[in-house]
Amino acid sequence: MQAKTLILATAALLALMTAAEARDQIKIVGSSTVYPFSTVVAEQFGKTSGFKTPVVESTGTGGGLKLFCAGADENSPDIANASRRIEPSEVAACATNGVKQITEVVIGYDGIVLANAKAGPTYTVTREQLFLATAKTVPQGGKLVPNPYKKWSEIDPGLPREDIVVFGPASNHGTRDAYVELVMQPACGKFPEIKALTGDARKVACDAIREDGAYVEVAENYTLILQKLLSQPHSVGILTFSYIDQNGDKIKAAMVDGQIATYDNIASMQYPVSRPLFFYVKKNHIGVIPGIKEYVAEFTSEKAFGKTGYLTDKGLIALPDADRKTEADKSKDWPNLQL
């Protein structure tokens, strides 16, 4: 019986390897935030490595991790980009579907910005004000009520007298999760009406985004948000620093809690809405799908994600020196993900 089991297991492994070897191009899915960085690395890799240029799809962090965790066979992606850390429930889904060995690579930092057209008003906001502008329910008169705010000036007379129109990421984007975690949750705890809540009631109050049209979900690439801001100068958008960095002639960032999103402020985590960026590698595809080791080595090389690397030209904020070395070493020893 043991011999038969071994033969079947070996046959299954050989079948997987044979099928995987039929694909000679790396498949990458995931975060729209990481997409521009991953695409540049893929293009550079295709030009210089002798391997085919990887296929990179912008599916959003949640969507990408769902695809990544759906299976370990050749049809599944090799790498998932993410603008937030993988969640325990996603790791469990991966394991259920045979994806039990994953390497996590941190590529750098990014900041979430509130942006609007250069022609529009200048915004200086707090996270509490952003919460009041975008939350589904807000405190008023000692209780939570459906968000009544229509104009920014209704939240604070010092804010522009403009309708609240916020183009922001849909729930499939890691940037939406990061906005909730870094803006909504810290802010909601400042209100006594919400602070008194516990469990699911508090989570709903802190996390739920308004659905009355003031917050417009964008499920596609953030380029659509950029287009909306330019066509509607009174509107604002929730974007990433890289979009400000690359389109500073068209849009500008609001000051948040007294800090502006700059390279140095994000690198030092002084800007309050800063976060790390990741990608995840399916270890059982290494050595089966050609080029994975080499692609990761290219991404984590100093010429790419270093302080003066070509990814900084695209808006990536470099990790500290010691952290970059740690991440670069992962393309040699492939440590298992530890949550």
pLDDT of residue 231: 92
pLDDT tier at 10 (50, 70, 90 boundaries)?
Answer: low
pLDDT of residue 107: 97
Average pLDDT over residues 184-212: 92
pLDDT tier at 197 (50, 70, 90 boundaries)?
Answer: confident
Contacts of 271 (CB under 8 A, 6+ apart): 111, 256, 259, 260, 261, 262, 265
For CA atoms 295, 299, 301, 304, the dihedral sign is positive
What's the chain's average pLDDT? 91
pLDDT tier at 68 (50, 70, 90 boundaries)?
Answer: very high
pLDDT tier at 20 (50, 70, 90 boundaries)?
Answer: very low
User: What whole-number distance in Å separates Cα of residue 47 and Cα of residue 291?
Assistant: 13
Q: Which domains does the chain have, with CATH numbers?
A: 10-109+276-333 (3.40.190.10), 111-274 (3.40.190.10)
pLDDT of residue 174: 86
Tens of pLDDT, residues 32-45: 899 999 999 999 99
Better-scored residue on pLDDT, 20 or 252: 252
Tens of pLDDT, residues 48-58: 999 999 999 99
Q: Are 241 and 266 in contact (CB under 8 A)?
A: yes
Tens of pLDDT, residues 143-152: 999 999 999 9
pLDDT of residue 123: 95
pLDDT of residue 23: 83
Residue 310 to residues 32, 79, 122, 297: CA-CA distances in angstroms?
19, 21, 31, 14
pLDDT of residue 154: 98
DSSP assignment of 66-91 equals HHHTT-SSTTS-SEEEESSPPPHHHH
3-state secondary structure of 260: coil
pTM for this model (two decimals): 0.81
Better-scored residue on pLDDT, 313 or 10: 313
Better-scored residue on pLDDT, 195 or 49: 49
Q: Residue 7: is its pLDDT beyond 60?
A: no
- DSSP class of residue 199? H
Q: Residue 171: is its pLDDT beyond 80?
A: yes
Tens of pLDDT, residues 78-105: 999 999 999 999 999 999 999 999 999 9
DSSP assignment of 161-183 equals S-B--EEEE-TTSHHHHHHIIII
User: What whole-number distance in Å separates Cα of residue 134 and Cα of residue 239?
Assistant: 15
The pair of structure tokens assigned to 23 is 């694909």
pLDDT of residue 330: 95
User: What whole-number distance in Å separates Cα of residue 114 and Cα of residue 149?
Assistant: 18
pLDDT of residue 6: 53
